[in-house]
Structure 1
Amino acid sequence: MTVRAAWLLPEGQTREDTRLAPLGAMAPTSELTTRGGVLAGGNPFAASGVGPMQVQIGTGRAVVQGTGAQGAYPVVITSPETLTFADGDAQYDRIDAVVLRVYDVLYDTSEQTTATVEIVQGTPSAAPEAPPPPAAALRLWEITVPAGASAGTGGISWGSALADRRHYTTAHGGIIPRGWGPSFTGAYDGQYRDTGTGLERWSASAAAWLPYPADSGWQTLALASGYGNPGHGSVPAWRRLGSLILLRGRLGPTKANATIPNAATLATLPAGIRPGTEFAWAAPRDQTSKGPSVTRAEITRGGVLRIYESADLPSWISLDGVTYCTD
């Protein structure tokens, strides 16, 4: 059968049925495959040196994805496991990998059905590289084994040898925690992940992870003809963070000794950053003996930026600190 439901039939459910059905931590990577990874909580699968050539891998839970036909395997270590590394090469360093691996006699030639944590030994080299993980395996750590390392020579320097290669998964719709290997692509439009400093959202149309809330970064504000930066203060610019708009910079006439007339259009803001309703504020301006150091500025619903009701016309105004929402 190609339609399978876990925990439905009174008998006859296979292990494959259970793995393929959407159950537990299932962040999808395609229609039938799941993002393999560690389940966050505490410090899962922590590594610590317990002897010159021995490392201990702590408890934890994970999902290991096999081939598309296999499904995903839920795996757990319920008590710390100790692994022993082979002695170092006589001439070159090597990099070994610690992996969580599933053996399944129905899909491989191992002639066993079990889950293990084990070492995949790398190749000694003048420029060593970590070995690729085998099928149905999840990389946890990489360990640099120095040339000549052995129990008799002091072994591995665990403080510098361990490289964390754990990456994480979550339930469908959850935010994927930050971990090793941030270059993976999203599986669907609107998927979220943690960067360590904020959130990113997968955009299918852009085929990229984008900051969330969406951050345009600072963009130069296109000014009306005859206006520019008066030469002191930053260039006029805008930035969009979700629905929040930030402005900065100073603007004024490009003609020497000119002033800004009332209601003159200084800029027309792009449609995506216009306020939901007319927005006005007291804008800092050039100080003269004839008037105050602020004047009324406004942005209309049509996006027109202008000054208004200013008796003593300024030679420049500042947009620094202006914020408003588009909705």
Structure 2
Amino acid sequence: MTVRAAWLLPNAQTREDTRLAPVGVLAPEGELLSRAGVIPGGAALAATSAGPMQVQLGIGRAVVQGTLAQGAYPVVVSSPETLTVDDGHPQFDRIDSVVLRVYDGMYDTSGQTRVAAEIIQGTPTATPNPPTLPPAALRLWDVTVPAGASAGVGGLDWTRALADRRQYTTAHGGIIPHGWAMTFNGAYDGQFRDNGVTGLERWNATARAWLPYPYDSGWQPLTLAAGYGNPGHGMPASWRRLGAMVMLRGRIGPTKSGATIANGATIATLPAPIRPAGGREFAWAAPRDVTSKGPALTRVEITGAGVLRTFELFDAPAWISLDGVTYCTD
């Protein structure tokens, strides 16, 4: 057999089965559930045309999760498998699925104990959908079968017919590669995956969300104290956190025309995620007022409680700039 599973047959598992099939603790999806998927490496379980109405499934390894009581089945395809797609419906298109399917008579009504690569046929309709899979089946590819398709009329256009539906899994603690169906939730705080676009994401169990890693908040508006806003044409005050690094930008000044910033004035209170341990301080020079060209020197601090305020005010500035202010939270 070229499609086989470890820990399925009651008496006939060979040592070669055990060596080839994936074993060990895999990425979890629950207390007793493993994430089903293809084991990445090369072009694992790739699909290619083998004829007008035939598809060849390449070699590779996977994990097929059954019910909670069944557990997960390690599966290997050690030689390419050729599968035949049934002719198209006379009137409607349909979508079939290439799957790895485990039959286990101890848990299903099949009366069989085997694993197979097979095609599960979809329902022909005006707007077809992929078929609903039975338990212990892993979808690998979808095949769109147009109405009237057959070998006698040229078969399928394989460049359009195949849709990759391989989702991937990995060992516990490993980074789950990008694949199909990436809307799944993480199983534990700190789990990693590759989103295939911007890089790594880390599962935050509290937020129940995949967050960029290193964490990147993107630019967020800074909430200012009453009486302060964005004077003139400067950029509005905002913050961004990337990992432990915080960047500030923008201009802050009194909203009242002609007013200046007083010594010790609280300008804003930073949100908890960007408050620096122990506080930070920086110096700045800005116009004394809206008409003067001379510099007004001041020092600005961010306290450990996140209060942004002036201190050691040598001159009364009309505004301060946060551009270039960067610090670590720790």
TM-score calculated relative to the size of structure 2 = 0.85
Mapping 1:48-197, distance limit 5 Å: 48-196=48-196, 197=198
Rounded Cα–Cα distance in structure 2 between residues aligned with 1:91 and 1:302: 69
**Offset of residue 166 of structure 1:** 0.5
Instruction: Kindly tell me the number of residue pairs found equivalent between the two proteins.
Output: 312
Who is 2:211 aligned against? 210
Rounded Cα–Cα distance in structure 2 between residues aligned with 1:74 and 1:139: 15
Aligned partner of 2:293 among 276, 281, 289: 289
Who is 2:3 aligned against? none
Q: 1:286 to 1:181 in 2, by over 3 A?
A: farther
Q: Output the amino acid matched with 1:232.
A: H
Q: Could you tell me whether the CA contact under 8 Å between 1:25 and 1:169 is conserved in 2?
A: no
**Offset of residue 295 of structure 1:** 5.4
Q: Could you tell me whether the CA contact under 8 Å between 2:100 and 2:117 is conserved in 1?
A: yes
Q: Could you tell me whether the CA contact under 8 Å between 1:104 and 1:113 is conserved in 2?
A: yes
* 1:132-176 deviation line (CA, Å, top 9, x unaligned): 122211000001011111112121111111111100111112221
Q: Could you tell me whether the CA contact under 8 Å between 2:38 and 2:44 is conserved in 1?
A: yes
Moved more, 214-223 or 163-172: 214-223
Who is 1:322 aligned against? 325
Rounded Cα–Cα distance in structure 1 between residues aligned with 2:44 and 2:286: 58
Q: 1:298 aligned to 2:301? A: yes
Moved more, 76-85 or 312-321: 312-321
Q: 1:295 to 1:50 in 2, by over 3 A?
A: farther
Q: 1:149 to 1:247 in 2, by over 3 A?
A: same
Q: Could you tell me whether the CA contact under 8 Å between 2:245 and 2:327 is conserved in 1?
A: yes
Who is 1:239 aligned against? 240
**Offset of residue 128 of structure 1:** 0.5
Moved more, 263-272 or 48-57: 263-272
Report the secondary structure of 1:123's partner residue. coil
Rounded Cα–Cα distance in structure 2 between residues aligned with 1:180 and 1:79: 24
**Offset of residue 23 of structure 1:** 4.6
Q: Output the amino acid matched with 2:239.
A: W
Report the secondary structure of 1:183's partner residue. coil
Q: 1:284 to 1:198 in 2, by over 3 A?
A: farther
Rounded Cα–Cα distance in structure 1 between residues aligned with 2:137 and 2:83: 16
Rounded Cα–Cα distance in structure 2 between residues aligned with 1:111 and 1:13: 16
* 1:92-140 deviation line (CA, Å, top 9, x unaligned): 1110000011122322333332221110011111000100122211000
Q: Output the amino acid matched with 1:242.
A: G
Rounded Cα–Cα distance in structure 2 between residues aligned with 1:140 and 1:315: 64
Who is 1:4 aligned against? none
Q: Output the amino acid matched with 1:94.
A: R
**Offset of residue 308 of structure 1:** 4.6
Who is 1:34 aligned against? 34
Q: 1:166 to 1:283 in 2, by over 3 A?
A: farther
Rounded Cα–Cα distance in structure 2 between residues aligned with 1:74 and 1:162: 25
Report the secondary structure of 2:211's partner residue. strand
Q: 1:221 aligned to 2:225? A: no
Who is 2:267 aligned against? 266
Q: 1:167 to 1:284 in 2, by over 3 A?
A: farther
Moved more, 132-141 or 206-215: 206-215
Q: Could you tell me whether the CA contact under 8 Å between 1:25 and 1:170 is conserved in 2?
A: no
Q: CA RMSD in A?
A: 2.7
**Offset of residue 260 of structure 1:** 1.9
Q: Could you tell me whether the CA contact under 8 Å between 1:167 and 1:180 is conserved in 2?
A: yes
Rounded Cα–Cα distance in structure 2 between residues aligned with 1:154 and 1:283: 75
Moved more, 109-118 or 36-45: 109-118
Rounded Cα–Cα distance in structure 2 between residues aligned with 1:295 and 1:178: 50
**Offset of residue 211 of structure 1:** 3.0
**Offset of residue 72 of structure 1:** 1.0
Report the secondary structure of 1:169's partner residue. coil
Rounded Cα–Cα distance in structure 2 between residues aligned with 1:47 and 1:283: 62
Structure 1 gaps of 5+ residues are 1-6
Q: Output the amino acid matched with 1:157.
A: D
Q: 1:249 aligned to 2:253? A: no
TM-score calculated relative to the size of structure 1 = 0.86
Report the secondary structure of 1:67's partner residue. coil
Q: Could you tell me whether the CA contact under 8 Å between 1:25 and 1:63 is conserved in 2?
A: no
Q: Output the amino acid matched with 1:291.
A: P
Rounded Cα–Cα distance in structure 1 between residues aligned with 2:260 and 2:132: 68
Rounded Cα–Cα distance in structure 2 between residues aligned with 1:298 and 1:127: 62
Rounded Cα–Cα distance in structure 2 between residues aligned with 1:215 and 1:123: 44
Q: Could you tell me whether the CA contact under 8 Å between 1:105 and 1:111 is conserved in 2?
A: yes
